[in-house]
Structure 1
Amino acid sequence: METKQRGATGKKKVLLKPKSLKYLRRKSQQNYHQDDGSQCYYGTDEEDYVYRSVHRYSATNFPLFSNMSDDEVIKKTKSKQFSNGQLQIQVKNEEDQTQDEFPFQTLPYELKMKVFTYLSHVDKGVSMRVCREWKDLMTKPVLWSTVMLCDFPMTCMPSKHHLQPSNCYLCYNERVHMFARYLQILKPSIKYLDFKFDIGEPDDNYLEILQNFLSQGNLQSLVHFNFNWKETPTRPFWSDWTNCNDIVFRQRYRGRLFVYFFDEFTKVATKITTLLLPFDWSDRSVLCLARLQNLHTLVIEKYFVFQEMKQELLDKLMEGLPNLKRLMFEVWSPSGPGLIPFTISSKSLEFLDISQSRGFYLKALDIPNMTRFRVARRPWNGPLVCADRISLPCLYNTLLVGAPNLRKLNDHYLEEDWKKNVYSTLEEVLKVVCSCRRHKTGWAM
């Protein structure tokens, strides 16, 4: 709707109130409207400008992509006018009149896709039912470059009526597989993948999802992979195992599945830079992991209790990852009177975290570029042994020789002269984390 008023100069001004895009498209059939020397264009180019200018949000000052507050956006929109004398637009906001609806449909295609990337998978599915345009946008493969397979609520489908609570998980499993089949139709290039499912459960068939992604080439551009393959956190706990032998058999069977899949996976997904996974520390797995030459962040969790890790495997891993910057690993190594401390050597490593490990102690370090180090004194994995029977190197001496550029130990920022003398605060930290005879006060290891 348009109204005319005479200004101070006597010329008529055209006041435009916010209208829908449908109204402006009808008006675009006219080339222009001329009245007393004041022209108001409704053509294709001017149509977009008029519609954006009279609304609070526009493609250039949308608060999600700017640092302006809502008040600043409103003030900027009010003061924006043409200075060429052909078109003057004034936005009049009555005190009792609210702004029109958010003109999301006027945003460029790129901004619409950027907004949709912030939605979860469930929200994207709901958004597909808004209109035909949104449904078409949701089928673009670029929106599914981030895949959170476990991002589904543990609720039943509306069409399901379960008498037993255990059937709710079956409904959840069906929903995950339906989503995976939908992704196989879209064929997106996945860059971020979050997988938290037990690949050893034969009835769940979660490993089949990854194998299909791998065979169809969806993982060639993968850069971030959170691969928790040993358990399904959303699975209710019910156990049909009868004895410990069944548990050990399940663990070994799951480990073999991981080794076979990881071998094929590392041949394809060579662009990975961040990897989080439980690790079995087998010879084959270490060789497969060393194929990821672009890896700069690695988080290794324990797979099974009392899992042996050999020094030569650790050396192969560090030598095979020349670009590794951040390493966090959890190892529950069996220990006893014959404890052998480990050595870590890396020219590229800047951050090392072994605070979650048990039975893992350092004998020497050769990490000249390391600036941050986290460590904790965990309970001993194995029989109780008197501390005087074990002779472990002091952590301070190990860091002094092997990490000369260290700046932070746990949450403590080291002083500049920490390599010259052990000041009181550093001594207190060492009493908590170091296991040498000087800092360990207990009788048992």
Structure 2
Amino acid sequence: METKEHGKNGKKKVLLKPKSLRYLRRKSQNYHKDDGSQCYYGTDEEEYVYRTVHRYSSNNFPLFSNMSDDEVIKNSKSKQFTGQPMVLSQRQVKNKENETLETFPFQSLPYELKMKVFTYLNHIDKGLSMRVCREWKDLLVNPALWSTVMLCDFPMTCMPSRNHLQSSHCYLCYNERVHMFARYLQILGPPIKYLDFKFDIGEPDDNYIEILQNFLSKGNLQSLGHFNFNWKETPSRPFWSDWSNCNDIVFRQRYRGRIFVYFFDDLTKVATKITTLLLPFDWSDRSVMCLTRLQNLHTLVIEKYFVFQAMKQDLLDKMMDGLPNLKRLMLEVWSPSGPGLVPYTIRSKSLEFLDISQSRGLYLKALDIPKMIRFRVARRPWNGPLVCADKIALPCLYNTLLEGAPGLHKLNDHYLEESWKDNVYSTLEEVLKVVCSCRRHKTGWAM
């Protein structure tokens, strides 16, 4: 983006934001300030893309960013672009005749710098930039520029030529746009290193699973390192339901789960370089076996898939033992509370960050994580049978952490004092009253 300001001596300055790079676009909206000067802003479609916030990522999730929840929310609202802008005096930007230029001389940059500049654009900006001139189009067909694929960032809008108001028709245009972009990527054949996929693979009319299968068959996923794989729903799809009863919903959940298992089996045989994986998980024997193939995995976010699908202790042990390099784990499990309550044990020799705060009804019996330095937990009973707390004897969270995580430094947003192993000081006691479910810290009658 390029704006003009006057310095202390009346000299004009050029403000460049290298990571937004709005100045690369030929078509933009014009906005006139009160003083008569003119600024350039992107379209509403582009603003929608930049404001898209992902649920879990290395930038906005507290577990991975080492920030509190309040800090993450504050930063996500106040920051749209990373990095500080560079302010250059116009005297520093001159042409061959030693005259001050009004714009940055992008065409005079070396080839390597031009390619570096284009790496800061998302796929929508790259598509718009390819329409500027032939030189930019020839530069942007380089497969290396398309290694980051954000399939779900297309806006839910139609072209002005489409004269309709129904949301279902708009979604058909959105679906067509996604498939056309996927076919273009298959023509380029880039080695995909970062893939963001948020589509329902069980919807036969949308056929989103075909995109992943084509990437897999063409060898585009062999270098995949970061995979955000939300395969159970399409957030951009308008809500409507063709299923009339509970049996249809259960059948659809199982059908989608079978498709996931077959694809995940093929994926883990090819994309063995995955280091960061975010996905809903079905906790089947085959899925756990496939997950343990990813020996380079160091960050794992597991969301619940179906509320009626429980997690077995032996599968949890098999997963933790099969991932020797796992450093960060976010585990979301919904376990029913009631007389059949079974606390879990988590063991890992490599885990440093553990978050079970999104789980419901997940209680810990024991921990064996000597390297863990940060732990997040919340007391969230599932909507199961109501049971009096005095009828269930759960271990105290403090004793569990003391025996199984001696290297712990942070519990939720509270930094532990050095003496936490010797005694429970007042601040730690207040934290335990919020998160612990033992008889000492849990007040009230219902679990």
Smaller-chain TM-score bracket: 0.7 to 0.9
The Cα of 1:77 is off from its aligned counterpart by 7.1
Partner of 2:287: 285
- Which residue of 368, 385, 390 maps to 1:366? 368
- Which residue of 134, 137, 161 maps to 1:135? 137
Deviations 1:293-327 (A, max 9, x none): 00000000000113211100000000000000000
Q: What does residue range 255-294 of structure 1 map to in structure 2 within 5 Å?
A: 255-294=257-296
Structure 1: which 4+ aligned runs deviate by more than 3 Å? 62-69, 73-78, 89-93
Deviations 1:8-41 (A, max 9, x none): xxxxxxxxxxxxxxxxxxxxxxxxxxxxxxxxxx
- Which residue of 170, 185, 188 maps to 2:187? 185
Partner of 2:202: 200
Partner of 2:120: 118
Partner of 2:87: 70
- Which residue of 291, 301, 304 maps to 2:303? 301
- Which deviates more, 112-121 or 342-351? 112-121
Partner of 1:356: 358
TM-score between the two structures when normalised by the length of structure 2: 0.79
SS in 2 for 1:70: strand
Is the 1:148–1:193 Cα contact (8 Å) retained in structure 2? yes
Is the 1:155–1:168 Cα contact (8 Å) retained in structure 2? yes
Is the 2:355–2:376 Cα contact (8 Å) retained in structure 1? yes
SS in 1 for 2:164: coil
Whole-angstrom CA distance in 1 between matches of 2:165 and 2:435: 52
Letter in 2 for 1:419: K
SS in 2 for 1:383: coil
The Cα of 1:387 is off from its aligned counterpart by 0.5
The Cα of 1:161 is off from its aligned counterpart by 2.5
SS in 2 for 1:150: helix
Structure 2: unaligned runs, 5 residues or longer: 1-12, 20-82
Partner of 1:166: 168
Partner of 1:215: 217
Change over 3 Å in CA distance of 1:421–1:444 after alignment to 2: same
Partner of 2:227: 225
The Cα of 1:63 is off from its aligned counterpart by 7.6
- Which residue of 315, 336, 340 maps to 2:338? 336
Letter in 2 for 1:202: P
Change over 3 Å in CA distance of 1:158–1:380 after alignment to 2: closer
Change over 3 Å in CA distance of 1:105–1:408 after alignment to 2: same
The Cα of 1:338 is off from its aligned counterpart by 2.3
Change over 3 Å in CA distance of 1:303–1:410 after alignment to 2: same
- Which residue of 238, 241, 255 maps to 1:239? 241
Whole-angstrom CA distance in 1 between matches of 2:378 and 2:86: 45
Whole-angstrom CA distance in 2 between matches of 1:240 and 1:68: 50
Is the 1:333–1:381 Cα contact (8 Å) retained in structure 2? no
Is the 2:337–2:386 Cα contact (8 Å) retained in structure 1? no
Partner of 2:391: 389
Letter in 1 for 2:412: N
Return the index of the structure with the highest Cα Rg: 1
Letter in 1 for 2:345: T
Whole-angstrom CA distance in 2 between matches of 1:90 and 1:123: 32
Whole-angstrom CA distance in 1 between matches of 2:419 and 2:281: 39
Deviations 1:236-255 (A, max 9, x none): 00111111111001000000
Is the 1:332–1:381 Cα contact (8 Å) retained in structure 2? no
Whole-angstrom CA distance in 2 between matches of 1:237 and 1:409: 38
Is the 1:195–1:228 Cα contact (8 Å) retained in structure 2? yes
Letter in 2 for 1:279: F
Change over 3 Å in CA distance of 1:178–1:69 after alignment to 2: closer
Aligned pair count reads: 372
Structure 1: unaligned runs, 5 residues or longer: 1-55, 79-88, 94-98
TM-score between the two structures when normalised by the length of structure 1: 0.80
Is the 2:379–2:436 Cα contact (8 Å) retained in structure 1? yes
Whole-angstrom CA distance in 2 between matches of 1:163 and 1:438: 59
Whole-angstrom CA distance in 2 between matches of 1:348 and 1:183: 37
The Cα of 1:233 is off from its aligned counterpart by 0.2
Deviations 1:214-262 (A, max 9, x none): 0000000000000000000000001111111110010000000000000
Change over 3 Å in CA distance of 1:381–1:306 after alignment to 2: farther
Partner of 2:35: none
